[in-house]
Structure 1
Amino acid sequence: MERSTGSNLQIQGQRTQSTAIVKVQQEPSIKIEPTVGGQLLRKLFQIIFFVQLFLVSILVIVLTIRGLIYAGSTDRFHPKKWYPPLLVSTASAGIVSFIWQSITFHCPSKAIKAVFWFTPLLTCAVGVLHILIGSPLSLAAGTIAIISGVIQSLYACWVNSRFDYASKILTVSTSAPPYNTTTFVIVSIITCLVYSSFSVTGIGGATATGTSLDIVFIVVILLSFLWSMQVIKNMLYVTISRIRYMNFACGVDINTRAAFHDTVKHLVGSVCIGSAIVPVIGTIRGSARAINLVAGDNDEFLFSCADCYSGFASTLITYGNRWGFVHVGVYNKGFIQASADTWEMFKRVELISLIDSDLTGVFCFLSGVAVGSICGIVGGTWELIIHKGYATEVSIYAFLIGYFMCRIALAWQQASVSAYYVSYAENPQSLRFDATIPVRIEQLHRFQV
């Protein structure tokens, strides 16, 4: 009891400090100082991120110039057949992503149902496209896409009873979006459009010669692209989750521009760390849950291995989860510490089962897959008609761009949901929360019985 009281007093103290700071926007909004080790780690990741971004940018420029020169002296590479489909797919990704986040905000229930039922069809359509292309790589990609589409459809049937709660939590957490959210999303999408188009030019330049070294260059550009897009998404995530947390927890409104300024000034290192860790741990935990479903409890050896892997994944998620980004933004904690604190808090108030059954994260993922599939179909079909040899790679690149563009467009809504959960976990008795979470917890307990 004493430990619980002390924890509550600490949380209230932090919350009071944050509230007082927010009211004075002329001064830095984040006051909690990290440890020396934490500061060094943040600085290291921040330096690594910007150095790799600078070096890859130089590489892209060199490859683009070299590719255009090479294309002028040979018929092996045709820029007019390679670039337009991919650039049009990139533009389509931005437009569709913005429209989709607007639909999700205004009609969350319909959006959730549409994603879970139509994404498998779009994924299978991409698979059929790759099979029609007919190359060994496209056949492999097509087979994977079709199998993935079938799994997605089975998953949608399995979780359709959770759609109503996902719609409710998404509605209540995004009911009052931060001021200038639309402008913020548009600027983020435009930034991603420019960055994606820039990366595409470098990949095209490397494709022009296609040597073994150029394949390495393409892999390097793609890895940089994946990390950079994650960082952009999580910068948005941290900014919005902090704004929504302060509103849910304290009834305080923070200016979006001021919050983003704090994120850029203080939190880039933590965001870079989280952007590198969360996708890896999320993949491990997702695979562990899938293996547990397959293993069941029939085969003792298989069940034992699955249980061991699940335990390993559960340990990792404690130190790297997306809910930690909320405390990164609110309290200026290091990402690992923030993840551990939020997960421990979820355990203390018995929210883990609710968090695990929540579909909003899956919804955002499948939305990204849907938009990526649309872009892949646009680019791949275009190339299939005008130059079949480019169809596979263009379709894959378009898919990745569409996926991340949509995730960035939806980041503010996913951040709002995370902020709602974290602020609720800190003070479940607050009158600012309705009965959405308590009713769902009661339902889960009833199902378990």
Structure 2
Amino acid sequence: MSSGYQPMYAPGPTPYYAEPYDPPADPPPSGGYGYDAKSPYEGERFRPKKRVNDPLFLIFFVLQFAGFVVLSAISVNEWVKSGGLGGGIGSGDTGTSVTLNYHTVILLLLVTAAALVLSTIYLILTRTFTRMIMHFTLILSIALNIGICVYYWTTKYWSGAIIFTAIALLSIFAYFGYRSRIPLASLLLQVVMDVAKHHWSVYTVAFIALIVQSAFSVWYTFTVISIYAKWTPGNPTCGHGSSCSSGKVAGLIFYATFSYIWTSQVIGNVALATLAGGPFGCWYYFGPRDDGMMPRHPALSSFIRASTLSLGSIAFGSLIVTLLELLRLLLNVLRNNANADGQPIEACLAMCAECFVGCIEGLVEYFNRYAYIEIALYGKPYLQAAQDTWRMIKDRGIDALINDSLVGMTLTWGAYAIGLLCSLFAYLYLRYTHPSYNADGQYTAPVVLFAFLIGVQCMMTLSSAIEAGVSTIFVGLGEDPQVLAIRAPQLFTLVASTYPQVVQGVPRV
């Protein structure tokens, strides 16, 4: 924790993070966002209408999840009856050489456990440290990228070596470019951590979401392996009346992955909306719990709204990101195939397209986070929340502040680092245990990809708790910036000096 920040969140009328803020005697001018004093319940805030928003997307989400349940039940049941086709932890030559077996199931279960442990450690580190964690995650990502690209060069995995070399250089440039912006992001993180310290529901929601996500990852793992086992041509279970083909396996795996990504997105975004409309939003608009103005059980009431009336809106926004993620994964497969066929030009084009789609996906996820906060606070449909978010960004000029949020970047790098560790573990496990089904390395890419997805999804679900607090402060700045001058004067002063357009019109002493 930096020496200039001394949080004092003791019982009393208002927590303060610097010298007390003395409001001027004259009332602030009215007009625009946040110029006049507003009620916490302004515009149906925290008291939305009792209506189900975006019902068509809610129905679509429920139907696709029901389809995943049916598919999983059929494939896993048949897979269990066949004994899982042999294989075990550390074993290589047991089982069939046709398709995946228990060896890979145990491997991905170990990956899920590792992702759970690494994500928990990351939460503890983030809770304990502030500025240091930002430097640490950026430097760790650089070290991981360099280490992996060196390993791929030595093992002559040329396409992976070229890609990770470019990623390593990009991460180095990103660190030096964002280093000067760490103080503001560090103070934001400190404020969020200090608020979370007095609202244990933040950690309760984060851990529940993480456990649910981990359990769903395990379920997805069993489903994918059982699909391979049941419908791969030449597999013994094909004699039980099932129609087996490689196309069928690819289609079912695609559907299962689509359902996994979409449902995982919804899990993380429900947690984000719960925290934004619960402890963080209530802290910003009502003040500390000791003031007696905060509603009782804010996290519970916010979760009920997010998981019922607003679930369709959250599913709508999550579907957009899911489709972009699937497109990026398809481009990744095309790049790998082109590289394997010795077509470097096609591989480079696919890699460029993959990076372009990844950038768009990141921007959509970034924008959606603020739309989900509008949904959590006001109960708006997704399109209305997106329009209001964009209008607030333009009217208040906080686009620079949003784009400068190093907190989100740090957490994303952390998820990326955990995903890399999980995928590297899976790669090494396959390389040194030599399972029969992977004698020619044909299953290395999908197994490593599944491990990476599991690690990233677990960490992103956990980090949504921290991002919810930071993003809620940003939304509060866009609507009522003068409130932050009371809640966290030092942060308000730093924001005002860095981005004066954000707090323009707010009186200062």
Matched-pair contact (CA < 8 Å) for 1:15–1:250: no
2:271 aligned with 1:257, yes or no? no
Q: Which residue of 2 aligns with 1:225?
A: 260
Largest Rg, 1 or 2:
2
Choose which of 40, 63, 68 in structure 2 pairs with 1:56.
Answer: 68
What is the distance in 1 between the residues matched to 2:216 and 2:449?
A: 17
Matched-pair contact (CA < 8 Å) for 1:133–1:384: no
* Offset at residue 9 of structure 1 (A): 9.3
* Offset at residue 47 of structure 1 (A): 1.0
Counterpart residue identity of residue 436, structure 1: L
Choose which of 316, 328, 332 in structure 1 pairs with 2:375.
Answer: 328
Counterpart residue identity of residue 301, structure 2: A
Choose which of 471, 482, 504 in structure 2 pairs with 1:418.
Answer: 471
Matched-pair contact (CA < 8 Å) for 1:133–1:391: no
2:182 aligned with 1:146, yes or no? no
Counterparts of 1:258-407 in structure 2, within 5 Å, are: 258-277=301-320, 321-387=368-434, 389=441, 390-407=443-460
What is the distance in 1 between the residues matched to 2:160 and 2:166?
A: 10
Q: Which residue of 2 aligns with 1:109?
A: 131
In percent, how many aligned pairs have the same letter? Answer: 21
What is the distance in 2 between the residues matched to 1:165 and 1:335?
A: 30
Gaps in structure 2 of 5+ consecutive residues:
1-28, 87-94, 234-245, 288-293, 328-355, 502-509
Matched-pair contact (CA < 8 Å) for 1:168–1:436: yes
Give SS of 1:47's match. Answer: helix
What is the distance in 1 between the residues matched to 2:155 and 2:168?
A: 19
Gaps in structure 1 of 5+ consecutive residues:
20-28, 285-308
Q: Which residue of 2 aligns with 1:92?
A: 114
Counterpart residue identity of residue 141, structure 2: T
* Offset at residue 438 of structure 1 (A): 4.2
1:403–1:6 distance in 2 versus 1, CA, 3 Å: closer
Matched-pair contact (CA < 8 Å) for 1:375–1:398: yes
Matched-pair contact (CA < 8 Å) for 2:130–2:189: yes
Matched-pair contact (CA < 8 Å) for 1:318–1:343: no
* Offset at residue 115 of structure 1 (A): 1.0
2:199 aligned with 1:164, yes or no? no
2:92 aligned with 1:71, yes or no? no
* Offset at residue 283 of structure 1 (A): 12
* Offset at residue 336 of structure 1 (A): 2.1
1:201–1:126 distance in 2 versus 1, CA, 3 Å: farther
Matched-pair contact (CA < 8 Å) for 2:321–2:365: no
1:250–1:201 distance in 2 versus 1, CA, 3 Å: same
What is the distance in 1 between the residues matched to 2:324 and 2:388?
A: 17
What is the distance in 1 between the residues matched to 2:415 and 2:322?
A: 14
Matched-pair contact (CA < 8 Å) for 2:427–2:448: yes
* Offset at residue 128 of structure 1 (A): 5.2
Matched-pair contact (CA < 8 Å) for 1:249–1:432: no
Matched-pair contact (CA < 8 Å) for 1:321–1:339: yes
What is the distance in 2 between the residues matched to 1:342 and 1:129?
A: 44
* Offset at residue 124 of structure 1 (A): 4.2
* Superimposed CA distance per residue, residues 363-406 of structure 1 (whole angstroms, 9 cap, x where no aligned partner): 12111101111111222211111125343322211111100100
* Offset at residue 114 of structure 1 (A): 0.9
1:420–1:358 distance in 2 versus 1, CA, 3 Å: same
Bigger drift between 435-444 and 331-340 goes to 435-444
1:362–1:264 distance in 2 versus 1, CA, 3 Å: same
What is the distance in 2 between the residues matched to 1:317 and 1:202?
A: 29
Question: May I ask how many residue pairs the two structures share in their alignment?
Answer: 398
Bigger drift between 359-368 and 384-393 goes to 384-393
